[in-house]
A and B are shown apart, each in its own frame.
Chain A
Amino acid sequence: MGHTMSEQPTSVSPATATGGSRLVILIAGAVILALTFGIVWLQSAKYEPLAVGKSAPDFTLSDLNDKPHRLSDFRGKVVFLNFWATWCKPCREEMPSMEILNKNFEKDGLVILAVSIDRVTTTKDIPPFVKGMNLTFPVLIDSWGQTDKPYKRMGVPETFIIDQQGVIREIVIGPRDWTRLDSLQTLTKLLNVTPKTAGMGPPGGSRRKG
């Protein structure tokens, strides 16, 4: 079953195509390269780090009653945007102080939006969590990670304090005791209120280590 050549090559094989078609190929390749560069370059704004002074990226997420909320709808109010998750212990510790914040400053124009980044496997834990903590501020669910890249989230909890014009004024990575006076500096300045007196200390525990 030896292999012998049945046909001799007749026409010019494409590998040694004429100079013209080789040029076409090169141009086509270069065009595609330029196009991809263009596509990525146009979106390159998304690589910029999110910093104080930048506009907070807009989003629309539903709360526990499936009612959608859009961030830009809250213009005119100071937004306390907090990212958390049910499996995150520091978030759990931070929540009561956020609730106190809500009670004290809601009338002054503060809106607290707590966005849960729980994926579909843990979203079922959100309602009992909220109930157990007696939280009265809106809890939004982002199970598809819509806010992940725009807010360049590295972990939870992360809090963004956004002013009435939608500009980020403070970024807090990690948990904070929101009843302490020194945590509230930006907030009180934006809300134009004098901070309430101490005595807002939580009933038990959560004192910081020396």
Chain B
Amino acid sequence: MNGQPDALTERETPRTPAPGVGWEEFSRELVEFFASIKLAMFLFLFIAITATIGTVIQQGERPETYVQEYGENAYRWFLRLGVTDVYHTWWFTSLLGLLCVNSLTCFYKRFPAVWRSMKQDKVSVSLAFIKGMKQQAEIPVKGSKEAVAQSLAQHFIEKGYRVLAKNDAGEVTLYATKGVLGRVGAHMAHLSATVIVLGGLLGSYYGFQEFGVCLEGQTYHIPRGNFDLRVDKFWIDYHENGSVKSYNSTLTVVEGGQQQMTKTITVNDPLVYKGIWFYQSSYGDAWDQIEIARVNIKDKESDKVLKTVDLEWQKEQSIDDLKLKLSITDFVADFAFNSTEKKVYSKTVEHANPAIKLTVNERNSVEATPWIFYQFPDLFDIKDSKYQFELVGYKPKKYTGLQIAKNPGINIVWLGSTMIVVGITLSSFIYHRRLWTKIVGTGEGVTVHLGGTTHKSQIDFQKEFRKLTEKIRMF
């Protein structure tokens, strides 16, 4: 029987009779409710079930995705119930809050008893008390009361028990207790839940998380920290088989015009400065810049490729024999045209429809800035030019994806985490056991009345009890 832990502690003081529904009675009921195990079980399971929702239905997606997958009607319900961002809804947060209240109330209600138990002196018990226990034994032993009591107390102490003794006329009572730390552990775990939630709240309100797309050679200002971050270098290392081994960025912090620190970051190894963390999160191909473009210059009449040039980004190149000056002035990865603003922009970050803006200067008389498309080479024609230009390849510019974050609540979360792990471990591996012994003198010796109880782990305790009984027999 893993029983009611408080069955053997002092009974609660009887309720003072109050007229009608008094505040005392009401508050007592309230505490009972909030401290109850049933509430805890319900909350654990209910939170588990609602948490499942967020794993089955994708969180934080664009509305179109939901409408496509589940239909308009379902999507509207999703919005109403908060299904698209379950973990931040008011009701989910309230459940977590309720769990905190539950664990705190439990602590408030039950910890004092545990505390008392630690200091307790429960030596004054009756024989009937011992006889009524589940584990009890009666062992005749030769020897005097005092000698036997001494040996027994010694044995208990060797086994790690805290022993209290009481000498009465005709009998000696021993009380041995061990492992109350296991019960303390449970309460530590309960408190920790609130600590973690508090840390989490602190982090959400006063912290931030941002993502930065950064190019090599550029310096970015970090407003929240009032310093600058320069990306000195970005590179990717590969394994022999071609897969990515690591991607790394060398970053320099510049504050007040001075270089404060330089670090090469990679995944799992961020940079910290003034409490702001920079993580190597990802990388990709920039959608508005390239490094090199390979352009074919074709003769319009014969349709033959006269020359192939590699143009560097925004660097003019002269091809003297054809009397051409070319340079790339712009690039979009996914060509789109905004007709109201009359601007070209990149529809997405995918290189779905790449195009370069080529500035052409032919014989100093023809000047044009056409857009050349990678997938549609014949789309553009420069009227007075002798040549047709084709984009046959390009080397994209890689950007480094940095996650920038600050979390002032993190240490509180770690504190709470440590508490919960330590608390649960103590609670799992240490169990609170208590043994009472009454040594009564008989004619030729003594009778040892032994009784014991445990908070958990019945079988192990039974084994221990049996061993103890045998040991006493040998006294």
Contacts and interface: CB of A to CB of B under 8 A. Distances in A.
Interface of A: 1-3, 204-205, 207-210
Given A3-B462, A3-B469, A210-B393, 11 more contacts: A2-B135, A2-B136, A3-B466, A205-B375, A207-B374, A207-B393, A208-B393, A209-B393, A209-B394, A210-B294, A210-B392
A209 B292 CA distance: 11
A121 B169 CA distance: 83
Contacts of B393: 207-210
B138 interface: yes
A2 B472 CA distance: 14
Given A2-B136, A2-B138, A210 B395 contact: yes
Contacts of B113: none
Contacts of B392: 207, 210
Nearest to B390: A207
Contact of B134 (A1, A208, A209): A1
Contacts of B254: none
Contact of A2 (B294, B375, B395, B469): B469
Per DSSP, chain B at the interface is strand
9 contacts: A1-B134, A1-B136, A2-B135, A2-B137, A3-B466, A207-B374, A209-B393, A209-B394, A210-B394
A204 B376 CA distance: 8
Interface in B123-177: 134-138
Nearest to B376: A204
A202 B264 CA distance: 45
A207 B395 CA distance: 14
Contacts of A209: 393-394
Contacts of B136: 1-2
Contacts of A207: 374, 392-393
B294 A204 contact: no
Nearest to B375: A205
Interface string B437-475: 000000000000000000000000010001001000000
B114 to A, nearest CB: 28
A154 to B, nearest CB: 9
A205 B351 CA distance: 13
Contacts of B375: 204-205
Contacts of A205: 375
Interface string B392-408: 11110000000000000
Nearest to A154: B241
A134 to B, nearest CB: 22
Nearest to A204: B375
Nearest to B470: A5
Nearest to A207: B392
Nearest to B292: A210
Contacts of B294: 210
A208 B393 CA distance: 7
B468 to A, nearest CB: 12
A192 to B, nearest CB: 33
Nearest to A210: B393
A3 B469 CA distance: 9
A2 B469 CA distance: 10
A120 B438 CA distance: 72
Nearest to B395: A210
| Interface core residue of B292, B375, B462 (most chain A CB under 10 Å) | B375
Contacts of B466: 3
Interface in B351-404: 374-375, 392-395
B5 to A, nearest CB: 21
A207 B294 CA distance: 13
A209 B462 CA distance: 76
B449 to A, nearest CB: 11
Contacts of A2: 135-138, 469
| Interface core residue of A2, A3, A204 (most chain B CB under 10 Å) | A2
A209 B466 CA distance: 80
Contacts of B374: 207
B149 to A, nearest CB: 21
Contacts of B292: 210
Nearest to B310: A210
Nearest to B374: A207
Contacts of A1: 134, 136
Nearest to B469: A2
Nearest to B451: A2
